[in-house]
Amino acid sequence: MSSSNRELALAYLEDAEYAFEEAMRAYKRRLFHRTIRRAQECVELSLKALLRLYGVEYPRTHEVSSSLMLIKDRLPEWLRQRLNYIVETSIKLSLQRAPSFYGDEMRRIPAKRLFNEKDATDALKRARIVLELVKKLIEEWSQVPS
């Protein structure tokens, strides 16, 4: 792994951690739609950090799990065991990304009315798990010399 990939992966991870902190703050303020939006960003940035760590060029979209599946055989076994959950989380939250920001414009429903505490709790849980898995992977890679 080149140092530029490592540096980018660490920068994405730092941003993912910050997005998670923002999700937690939104949750405490009962802004559940914002919780979901920030949780999605946390997952997206976490997965982009993972992909960057492996030197994978991913599509410039908010949902990159297809790129993750392309390298599944290169991932450690402990992470492969959680891959279905990670992919499911990425897809689920990416589908909620736009509605959590814009609401349902066709039906004239604001974002804050589309999501509830249960939705936000699930999004936070999922984001925390993905973030922790990627952090563990990056910590393992950090022990490998550049």
| Residue range 86-139, pLDDT digits in tens | 999 999 999 999 999 898 889 999 999 999 999 999 999 999 999 999 999 999
Name every residue whose Cβ is closer than 8 Å to that of residue 136 and which is 6 or more positions away in sequence. Answer: none
What backbone torsions phi and psi does residue 107 show, to the nearest 5 degrees?
A: -95, 0
Reported as a pLDDT band with limits 50, 70 and 90, residue 145 is low
Residues 35 and 123: beta-carbon distance below 8 Å: yes
The first and second tokens of residue 63, run together, are 């949902």
Strand partners of residue 104 = 109
Reported as a pLDDT band with limits 50, 70 and 90, residue 59 is confident
Instruction: Write out the residue range of the structural domain in which residue 23 sits.
Output: 3-142
Percent of the chain with pLDDT over 70: 96
| CATH code of the domain containing 77 | 1.20.120.330
Total number of domains in the chain? 1
Q: Nearest 5 degrees, angle CA 74-CA 18-CA 24?
A: 110
First to last CA, the chain: 7
DSSP state for residue 73 in the 8-state scheme: G
How much is the average pLDDT of 79-85?
97
